[in-house]
């Protein structure tokens, strides 16, 4: 049986099952961060980064990559409701191009339409206070983005027709 292997950022072979995935929800003032478990089954909210500069963003993301041995990054892409890319999507795509130059990891996008709305709904249903919701919504949106990506990837891997 062939083992799932991939190259990490240092072009070292590794067991794909032990590589974590990072999910990011990029906003103009904050970045919600989530990471997967080592098997890529569940996403956990990690933190919300307060954006101060591109360099500071990338420095904080690099620390997380190293700490959690991240092998791939999934970034929410804010498409318009009709599926087209607007101004915010173009800003995120440029940010992704810059990120790729810094971290040298595979970066994929995931349609994030309504992820923040879903995160807000979950927090409202959990009766979280407005102040706490504001702090948690971006992190939870990153969880929703990452979990959606992993669920789709898992279903694609399980389908023998691929």
Question: Given this model, what pLDDT does residue 134 score?
Answer: 66
Q: Is the dihedral of CA 120, 122, 124, 126 positive or negative?
A: negative
Tokens of 35: 């990471």
* Mean pLDDT calculated for residue range 64-93: 93
Distance CA 160, CA 144 (A): 26
pLDDT at residue 124 tops 70: no
- Contact criterion met (CB below 8 Å) for 106 and 73: yes
Please, are residues 137 and 129 in contact by the beta-carbon 8 Å criterion?
no
Q: In the chain, what percentage of residues exceed pLDDT 90? A: 53
Q: What is the mean pLDDT of residues 143-156?
A: 86
Residue 63: per-residue pLDDT = 97
Domains of the chain: 5-158 (3.30.420.140)
Q: Give the tens place of pLDDT for each residue, 12-55.
A: 444 555 689 999 999 889 999 999 999 989 999 999 999 999 99
């Amino acid at each position: 049986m062939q083992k799932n292997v991939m190259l990490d950022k240092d072009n070292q072979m590794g067991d794909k099952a032990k590589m974590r995935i990072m999910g990011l929800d990029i906003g103009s003032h904050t970045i919600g961060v989530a990471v997967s478990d080592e098997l890529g089954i569940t996403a956990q909210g990690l933190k919300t980064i307060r954006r101060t500069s591109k360099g500071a963003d990338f420095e904080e993301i690099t620390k997380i990559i190293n700490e959690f041995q991240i092998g791939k990054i999934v970034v929410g892409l804010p498409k318009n409701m009709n599926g087209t890319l607007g101004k915010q999507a173009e800003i995120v795509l440029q940010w992704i191009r810059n990120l790729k130059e810094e971290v040298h990891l595979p970066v994929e996008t995931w349609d994030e339409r309504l992820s923040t709305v879903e995160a807000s709904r979950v927090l409202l249903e959990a009766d979280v206070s407005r102040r706490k919701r504001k702090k948690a919504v971006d992190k939870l949106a990153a969880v929703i983005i990452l979990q959606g990506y992993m669920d789709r990837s898992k279903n694609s891997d399980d389908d023998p027709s691929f």
